[in-house]
Amino acid sequence: MTHPTPNEEGFRRPAEWEPHAACWVAWPHMAHEWLEDLEPAREELVALCRAIADADPETGAPRGERIRMLVRYAHSETEARAALADLSVGFVPVPFGDIWMRDIGPIFVRHERGDVATLRFAFNGWGGKYFFDGDTTVAESITATAGVRSFDLPTVLEGGALEVDGEGTCLTTRQCLLNDNRNPGVDVATMERVLCESLGVERVLWLDRGLDNDHTDGHVDTLARFVRPGVVLCMEPDPRGDPNQQVLDDIARDLAAMTDARGRRLEVLRVPSPGAVLDRAGRPMPASTMNFYIGNRTVVVPTYGSAQDDDAVEAIRRCFPDRRTVGLSARALLTGGGAFHCITQEQPASTKVDP
């Protein structure tokens, strides 16, 4: 017996600029993984939370969106509470490994009548690269805490691999979704059917590959982002030298030739790349200004100490005239492989409200 798909039941993945009920994050606790970057990564997470909560200075109540934070241990909660004492945060004690909520958490969808549910795809440590205790049960734990129904899906898929416009279009990459380290032997037609049936989209647009040294195998949230239906951002290479120059130019060219589910030719806007951001061994890291988070009131853009940072933040600010846009350091988070979009997962509002 087959069960109705999320799409058949009327669910779809909202665009990120649609109203949120909460933002899910997690408190970093794995000192053996973060090493000397643990405390700086925590500081960057705290700054992110403050920005998207946009708290009332007198009451601490969020004017933007509520923060729900996973904490692994009792002492983790104590640390997080102390760091966020000025905010009203919902702490949720559950097992988890690292903090990449976009990938280990569930993907939220919303029904046309307003009900919210989750999609729980299979997770295999980004193609078998990283396995941390608790990561495979995070989606189930968040679903139970949120008190919503769930669709359990066997396909291996991470949230950072998907970008939707809320009007039927999904953007992704071949390097990730067609990779044998996720779903061996899957073809384009099969994956497109999975995405349409689960996300409620009608057209899937494919980019080729991602940034140099990206262990996610080309997650699209480091490459291109919708800012409104029909309009997509991608990066312009640093003219002084960029390890991803060819990839970034290929992405812009390919996007300009695409049409969305409504038949619109995509309008492509370009934002400065951070250029060469190097690790301690001198290797390029997958730094991306595209890994921003669109909150109810605030867009938070990652910065890396690059000469391009200010221009990138300003370019993204112009795309969101109804929100404030802030640039915050994500240099320590990047040592773990990602930035602000990677460590967040938005829970849509159950009914359409004014954010």
Within-domain flag for 1: no
Within-domain flag for 6: no
Confidence of residue 251 (pLDDT cuts 50, 70, 90): very high
Whole-number Cα distances in Å, 327 to 59, 119, 221, 285, 324: 25, 31, 17, 19, 10
| pLDDT more than 90, % of the chain | 94
**Residue 288, amino acid:** S
Within-domain flag for 4: no
Q: For the chain, how many structural domains are there in total?
A: 1
- Hunting for tokens 């806007």 — which residue is that? 269
Within-domain flag for 3: no
CATH number for the domain spanning 248: value is 3.75.10.10
Residue whose C-alpha is closest to residue 173's, from 234, 107, 119: 234
pLDDT in tens, 292-302: 999 999 999 99
Confidence of residue 352 (pLDDT cuts 50, 70, 90): very low
Within-domain flag for 2: no
| pLDDT more than 70, % of the chain | 98
Contact, 233 vs 319, CB < 8 A? yes
Distance CA(319)–CA(14), nearest Å, equals 18
pLDDT at residue 354 is higher than 50: no
What are the structure tokens assigned to 258, written together?
A: 């695409």
Query: What is the separation of C-alpha 312 from the centre of its chain, rounded to a whole number of angstroms?
Result: 18
* Section 112-119 average pLDDT: 94
Within-domain flag for 256: yes
Give pTM, 2 decimals: 0.96
- What phi and psi values does residue 153 have, to the nearest 5 degrees? -120, 135
Domain that holds residue 280: 11-348
∠ CA 95-97-101, nearest 5°, is 95
Within-domain flag for 354: no
Q: Quote the pLDDT of residue 56.
A: 81
* Residue 342 a catalytic site member: yes
pLDDT in tens, 180-201: 999 999 999 999 999 999 999 9
pLDDT at residue 78 is higher than 70: yes
Beta bridge mates, 66: 22
Confidence of residue 93 (pLDDT cuts 50, 70, 90): very high
pLDDT in tens, 279-323: 999 999 999 999 999 999 999 999 999 999 999 999 999 999 999
